[in-house]
């Protein structure tokens, strides 16, 4: 299989590096409009072909699959054209700028039986896979809440606000590990430079009462990457800034007892062991590339397929709409 | 001066202990309907008088001032009667269950020239006083945001939800250190037992664009007490779980530059020293008692007067209303 | 049973409070030469008898058992006299100032069939009991090392150096959890004020090759209380400054394999889950008092008996001797 | 200037990369006996020349300076030959396996007026340079102690023990920041595999009473890299595992006062602000290369010259000798 990678900014070279070591990939083509980036790619990865000609990547019959690692606004047109030319497509997160665009890509890929995958890298980390596994094994119980904080100083993006930049990660993780259905979104934000929100708070309501919440912030003095997941049985803290023991599972909870003749429920607390499961530390992006290639080879659905890309965009779009409407609740 | 303390639950004995060592206080009367609590108080503080007769405390001419340390719903009727009987009043936080009640107490105390104070203890901590001092000295610059997280497992309250229990603290701190005016509130919450919210997210919008946000949660596996304050000049992290260095001031920020002919603002980052100022570690509640007694003696306004109690209640009431209305924005 | 407590400084009142709630204790007598401390004790614990007459406590037939909570130098003469007068004795740590004194107390108590116990409070904490349990169940394997750091700023003692003040705790913990036999001690220290060592490093060698090490320091800017225990199977970190999860058990280790024809052992690493067992949080001192009273009632040996007190003193005495001799190795 | 780098294991490629961007370096030659490592180097750094011929690097008139990044035992013979052939030499740490070897290299380089430098990389970090600056500016006062802990699980070395592997770093830092003179060394260690010590405790005594101490350990479940420096004026904590604020300066100390007629010194404590100075985050190794090249160009002494390499080896050698002699104090 031959793969073309469009966009060699910050993330693109990582995608190239991983495709180069993915079984089944014969050749990697690198494309960027900036010659300097191509030169860098060539010196770093002598075996790749480089070109500034995007159309070549999108159309050449030599190329089977395309990875799109460009600014968000260009995801849709590039992916659309690639799919129309019969290429399988891996799109950088967030998949598109709008629900409508995402739906169109899904439709196009479906019609042509092509793989459409979104690079929600975090889904492939050992940490998130372990959390998914724990929830599926019913170790955590029913989920009360999914609370995420992802804040630091910078890096301001020029084309998208902090929601599309940072919340994408956490929303994709939430959607992956929680099986119930989000039904509405409300959000507040503030923009201090260029009119692009650099702080936002997003609330997501689920059909079964689970509550999701996201704090994303480019103006924070400290780096925080922490997700709390509370369940009826156990609770999880996932701290991605920890060098090891990123996921901690607390055997803590509430015991509610009703006594005859007393209306009110009596609450007591349960505190048991905490443990930090060993996590697989395979590079997540290598698993993304592997899953993409295998999906193409086997005609199977990738883990982060177009639908999962769409569901994330749906929440981000609703959040942005809510911010523009003073926190109005947006049904999704 | 003779002070009566009504309510000897968890917090009442601390109030008694501190009044006993406040200059100007001759005698402390303790009142509770539970004889066991009185017995405990008497053994702990042999010099106090004890009584189960609330009316005595509220009316006796022997008593100059009353501290009300009872469940929230009783704050208003007790404080009202005490004021009407010419007593100065210190009310536990939150001052009342509603804005209307708070306004009435303010009016009553005003008419009779009596001191009405609310025990927002955190305002008197070395940490919060230092933060106030830094902001007033313009070390922090204009405030972008005030972000607070106060979560842990339990203790569920039976009479009030997590907002009235926990957010009171952080809202009182925010109102104290930020001088601009809150104009609207929106909130989401979830109740899992007894129909009382145990998780809530509150957003407060200010007239000048500052954004306030509060995460309070009785169902969290870890204890977090952290406030982030971002300013144009510096940023503050106040972590109350730290045994020392609770307040850290980061010389970090964004530098926005406009270049001629370029529409978009260029963003760069500034990172300098961090420092943790030495904090006064006088027990905050002793300063509350002292401020109350001195306000009575000197006819001055206490730091946390009725108005500041009202402004907190205003935000909590709006938050609760918003929760009941699916996150509707409530103007205040 | 009637218990006399001699010494009402910092720790004495805690001992009194715990004896007052220990089953089997009818009456507690408090003794101090400072009338102010007695007055304080009487107001805090109205049911106690107070006296400045040490001889009364040591001799009165009314009193069955004596707790000695005085400066170290006085432990021996007071305990000696109490034992000679037929009292059971609980001595504050360290048991005595010298091995000789400790041996004498053991001999005296043995002859008269009296209980002699030392208050090594840490041994009774949930954390240390759990560590002991894990090691006895062979979860940790053979012990490579026991490494302890106990440092902070102050509090300088006037009568004993940092070894007798701080290392006592850690040496008692080491002796309790490790079953092999210490054979030699070496130590270095430095004294900056009053000629009393405020920093010390102690190494303890065991017969089976286990190495123990202690860093104690009154001149450190941060408070550290951390013990690392490395075993062939698992490893323990016990951090007493953590509010919860004080004991963490790491499933980490080394795998050594020998290949035919290769002389050198190949080393690889094993990393599995970490877990923090739930710890019993009963106040340790209440268990000390209970163990003392039950030992008297049942004629059994207390957990921290005279021998365990002696074994700690043996190491402290050797460490001090080594310091005075430029780190000379002292056999014990 | 043309530089030859011998040894392309873990560290060598970093040295190559940094020389390639050091002003004044025209050409870099890479040498390793392993062809695979050369191939890797060539693909990573297309501009370098590669060779398996060590003699070429050591003798060719094309080459002005040689960096020796090989196992410790080979440092001396390679450096010796390079110097004898008129090359300036940068040796990886520790400089040699023995004091005698180090002295010989210093002598040889001195006779021929060649630069001899040791790559004590830590000396060039922003953290250590800041600590040096603070001590030189007398912000810290007289130094009570220098306490270092450098522990983690693995990586076991096959040729040197944990002292030569890990303690080298901390001893070089201590020697750099403390100006007084070490006079004696004592150490204990334990070896569990291959007879090579994997745990060691080293004490270093200084002429002015300062005490240095090092805990190095390959068998620890957690990674600790922490240096405490206590001074009469302030105290420093340098935690190299922190992503930012690695150096914290505590305005803490002891105040000793003597009162007339009282023999003993009264001790009180001073606690002020803590601050974390901004640190230069230039890659330390780039500054090593720069300092080496500039020393050659200007005929000046490098910061980490042969003498500083020797002083570190002197302490390591003494420590090893002490371990072999049951902790005997070794004068240096």
Contact D90/D306 with Cβ under 8 angstroms?
Answer: no
Q: How far apart are CA D202 and CA A189, in angstroms?
A: 55
Residue A175 has pLDDT above 70, yes or no: yes
Name the residue in chain C with its Cα closest to that of D199: C145
Contact B2/B60 with Cβ under 8 angstroms?
Answer: no
- Predicted local distance difference test score (pLDDT) of residue B195: 85
Q: Does the distance separating the beta carbons of C273 and A274 come in below 8 Å? A: no
- C262-279 burial string, b = 16+ CB within 10 Å, else e? eeebebeeebeebbbbbb
Interaxial angle between packed helices B306-324 and B168-177, expressed in degrees from 0 to 180 and rounded to the nearest 10: 120
Strands (E), chain C: 2-6, 27-31, 49-51, 65-68, 88-92, 116-119, 143-153, 182-193, 196-206, 211-217, 219-231, 235-239, 247-257, 266-276, 330-331
Task: Please report residues of D whose CB lies closer than 8 A to that of C187.
Answer: none
pLDDT per residue as tens digits for the range A82-108: 999 999 999 999 999 999 999 999 999
Calculate the alpha carbon distances from D168 to B293, C145, D11, D191 in Å.
62, 22, 15, 18
Strands (E), A111-265: 116-119, 143-153, 182-193, 196-206, 211-217, 219-231, 235-239, 247-257
Calculate the alpha carbon distances from B302 to B202, B283, C303 in Å.
28, 17, 56
pLDDT per residue as tens digits for the range D199-223: 999 999 999 999 999 999 999 999 9
Unique residue bearing structure tokens 């003794």? C31
Q: Does the distance separating the beta carbons of B243 and C241 come in below 8 Å? A: yes
Q: How far apart are CA B65 and CA B73, in angstroms?
A: 20
Quickly list H helices, C199-326: 284-298, 306-324
Nearest neighbour of B190 by CB, restricted to A145, A221, A228: A145
Q: Tell me whether the omega of the peptide bond preceding residue C94 falls within 30 degrees of 0, making it cis.
A: yes
What does DSSP assign to residue C302? P
The average pLDDT across B129-133 equals 98
Residue B263 has pLDDT above 70, yes or no: no
Q: Tell me whether the omega of the peptide bond preceding residue A78 falls within 30 degrees of 0, making it cis.
A: no
pTM above 0.90, yes or no: yes
Name the residue in chain B with its Cα closest to that of D271: B278
Contact C146/C214 with Cβ under 8 angstroms?
Answer: no
Q: How far apart are CA C300 and CA C303, in angstroms?
A: 9
Calculate the alpha carbon distances from C47 to A233, A259, C16, C23 in Å.
46, 38, 11, 15
Is the minimum CB–CB distance between B278 and chain D shorter than 8 Å? yes
The average pLDDT across A71-90 equals 97
Calculate the alpha carbon distances from C28 to B40, C299, D52 in Å.
20, 21, 84
Residue A157 has pLDDT above 80, yes or no: no
Contact B71/B97 with Cβ under 8 angstroms?
Answer: no
Residue B282 has pLDDT above 90, yes or no: yes
- Predicted local distance difference test score (pLDDT) of residue A44: 87
Query: In what side-by-side order are the strands of the sheet with A27-31?
Result: A49-51, A27-31, A2-6, A65-68, A88-92, A116-119
Contact B67/B291 with Cβ under 8 angstroms?
Answer: no
User: In sequence order, what are the beta bridge partners of C153?
Assistant: C219
pLDDT band at D270 (very low <50, low <70, confident <90, very high): confident
Task: Name which of A150-159, A175-184, B62-71 the model is least confident about.
Answer: A150-159
Of the candidates A276, A296, A321, A320, the residue with the CA atom closest to the CA atom of residue A90: A296
The average pLDDT across C141-167 equals 92
Q: D63 phi and psi, to 5 degrees?
A: -100, 130
Q: Does the distance separating the beta carbons of A243 and D223 come in below 8 Å? A: yes
Q: Decide: helix, strand or coil at residue D309.
A: helix
Q: How far is CA A122 from the centre of its chain?
A: 6
Interface test with B, best of A140, A201, A226 (most B CBs within 10 A): A201
Neighbouring chains to B with at least 3 Cβ pairs closer than 8 Å: A, C, D
ipTM of model:
0.95
Q: What percent of chain B has pLDDT over 70?
A: 99
Residue C71 has pLDDT above 80, yes or no: yes
pLDDT per residue as tens digits for the range D17-66: 999 999 999 999 999 999 999 999 998 898 999 999 999 999 999 999 99
Query: DSSP letters along A93-156, please?
Result: SS--SSHHHHHHHHHHHHHTT--EEEE-GGGGSHHHHHHHHHHHTTSS-SEEEEEEEEEEE-PP
Q: How far apart are CA C56 and CA B326, in angstroms?
A: 73
- C185-220 burial string, b = 16+ CB within 10 Å, else e? bbbbbbebebebbbbbbbbbbbeeebbbbbbbbbbb
Contact A217/A124 with Cβ under 8 angstroms?
Answer: no
Q: How far apart are CA B162 and CA B156, in angstroms?
A: 8
Neighbouring chains to C with at least 3 Cβ pairs closer than 8 Å: A, B, D
Nearest neighbour of A43 by CB, restricted to D46, D241, D243: D46
Nearest neighbour of D219 by CB, restricted to C151, C220, C254: C254
Name the residue in chain A with its Cα closest to that of D222: A244
Mean pLDDT of chain C: 95
**Is the dihedral angle over the CA atoms D258, D259, D264, D265 positive or is it negative?**
negative
Task: Note the residue count of chain C.
Answer: 332
- Predicted local distance difference test score (pLDDT) of residue C263: 66
Q: Does the distance separating the beta carbons of A273 and C273 come in below 8 Å? A: no
Q: Does the distance separating the beta carbons of B278 and D251 come in below 8 Å? A: yes
- Separation in Å, CA of D113 to nearest CA in chain B: 42
Nearest neighbour of C274 by CB, restricted to A251, A271, A276: A276
Interface test with D, best of A243, A245, A278 (most D CBs within 10 A): A243
Q: How far apart are CA C14 and CA C48, in angstroms?
A: 13
Name the residue in chain B with its Cα closest to that of A157: B267
Domains of chain D by start residue, with CATH: 2-122+284-304 (3.40.50.720), 126-281+314-331 (3.30.360.10)
- Separation in Å, CA of C17 to nearest CA in chain A: 28
- Predicted local distance difference test score (pLDDT) of residue B158: 76
- Separation in Å, CA of C272 to nearest CA in chain D: 11
- Separation in Å, CA of A122 to nearest CA in chain B: 23
Is the minimum CB–CB distance between C199 and chain D shorter than 8 Å? yes
Neighbouring chains to D with at least 3 Cβ pairs closer than 8 Å: A, B, C
Q: How far apart are CA C306 and CA C314, in angstroms?
A: 12
Q: What percent of chain B has pLDDT over 90?
A: 90
Contact C292/C300 with Cβ under 8 angstroms?
Answer: no
Q: What percent of chain A has pLDDT over 90?
A: 90
Is the minimum CB–CB distance between B276 and chain A shorter than 8 Å? no
Contact D268/D254 with Cβ under 8 angstroms?
Answer: yes
Is the minimum CB–CB distance between C39 and chain A shorter than 8 Å? no
Q: A29 phi and psi, to 5 degrees?
A: -100, 135
- Predicted local distance difference test score (pLDDT) of residue A267: 80
Structure tokens at D215: 């805990």
Task: Please report residues of D whose CB lies closer than 8 A to that of C329.
Answer: 326-328
The average pLDDT across A235-246 equals 96
Residue B262 has pLDDT above 70, yes or no: no
Residue B155 has pLDDT above 80, yes or no: no
How many other β-carbons are positioned within 10 Å of the β-carbon of residue C133? Answer: 12
Q: How far apart are CA C265 and CA C245, in angstroms?
A: 36
Is the minimum CB–CB distance between D251 and chain B shorter than 8 Å? yes
Residue C120 has pLDDT above 80, yes or no: yes
Is the minimum CB–CB distance between B241 and chain C shorter than 8 Å? yes
Q: Does the distance separating the beta carbons of A221 and B154 come in below 8 Å? A: no
Of the candidates C269, C166, C286, C270, the residue with the CA atom closest to the CA atom of residue C217: C166
Residue D156 has pLDDT above 80, yes or no: no
Is the minimum CB–CB distance between A46 and chain D shorter than 8 Å? yes
Is the minimum CB–CB distance between B269 and chain D shorter than 8 Å? no
Nearest neighbour of A46 by CB, restricted to D43, D223, D241: D43
Of the candidates C50, C173, C179, the residue with the CA atom closest to the CA atom of residue C121: C173
- Predicted local distance difference test score (pLDDT) of residue D262: 66
Contact B204/B215 with Cβ under 8 angstroms?
Answer: no
The average pLDDT across C35-53 equals 93
Task: Name which of A286-300, C206-220, C252-266, D77-91 the model is least confident about.
Answer: C252-266
The average pLDDT across D180-191 equals 97
Contact D115/D296 with Cβ under 8 angstroms?
Answer: yes
Q: How far apart are CA D194 and CA D218, in angstroms?
A: 13
Interface test with D, best of B245, B249, B270, B272 (most D CBs within 10 A): B245
Contact D116/D84 with Cβ under 8 angstroms?
Answer: no
- Predicted local distance difference test score (pLDDT) of residue C256: 82
Of the candidates B16, B60, B21, the residue with the CA atom closest to the CA atom of residue B40: B16
Nearest neighbour of A221 by CB, restricted to B153, B237, B327: B237
Is the minimum CB–CB distance between D242 and chain B shorter than 8 Å? no
């Amino acid at each position: 299989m031959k793969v073309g990678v469009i966009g060699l900014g910050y993330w693109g070279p990582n995608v190239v590096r991983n495709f180069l070591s993915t079984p089944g990939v014969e050749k990697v083509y690198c494309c960027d409009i900036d010659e300097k980036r191509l030169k860098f790619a060539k010196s770093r990865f002598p075996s790749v072909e480089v070109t500034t000609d995007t159309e070549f990547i999108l159309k050449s019959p030599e190329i089977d699959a395309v990875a799109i690692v460009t600014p968000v606004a260009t995801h849709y047109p590039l992916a659309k054209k690639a799919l129309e030319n019969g290429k399988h497509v891996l799109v950088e997160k967030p998949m598109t700028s709008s629900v409508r665009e995402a739906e169109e890509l899904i439709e196009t890929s479906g019609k042509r039986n092509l793989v459409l995958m979104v690079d929600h890298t975090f889904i492939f980390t050992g940490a998130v896979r372990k959390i998914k596994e724990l929830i599926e094994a019913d170790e955590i119980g029913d989920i009360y809440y999914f609370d995420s904080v992802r804040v630091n100083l910078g890096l301001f993006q020029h084309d998208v606000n902090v929601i599309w930049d940072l919340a994408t990660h956490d929303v994709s993780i939430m959607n992956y590990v929680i099986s119930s259905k989000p039904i509405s979104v409300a959000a507040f934000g503030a923009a201090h430079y260029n009119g692009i929100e650099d702080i936002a708070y997003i609330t997501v309501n689920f059909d079964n009462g689970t509550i999701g919440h996201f704090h994303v912030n480019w103006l924070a003095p400290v780096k925080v990457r922490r997700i709390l997941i509370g369940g009826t049985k156990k609770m999880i803290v996932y701290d991605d800034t920890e060098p090891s023991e990123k996921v901690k599972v607390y055997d803590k909870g509430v015991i509610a007892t009703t006594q005859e003749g007393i209306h009110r429920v009596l609450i007591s607390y349960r505190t048991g062991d905490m443990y930090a499961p060993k996590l697989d530390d395979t590079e997540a992006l290598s698993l993304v590339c592997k899953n993409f290639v295998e999906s193409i080879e086997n005609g199977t659905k990738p883990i982060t397929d177009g639908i999962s890309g769409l569901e994330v965009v749906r929440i981000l779009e609703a959040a942005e709409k809510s911010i523009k409407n003073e926190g109005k609740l947006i049904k999704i």
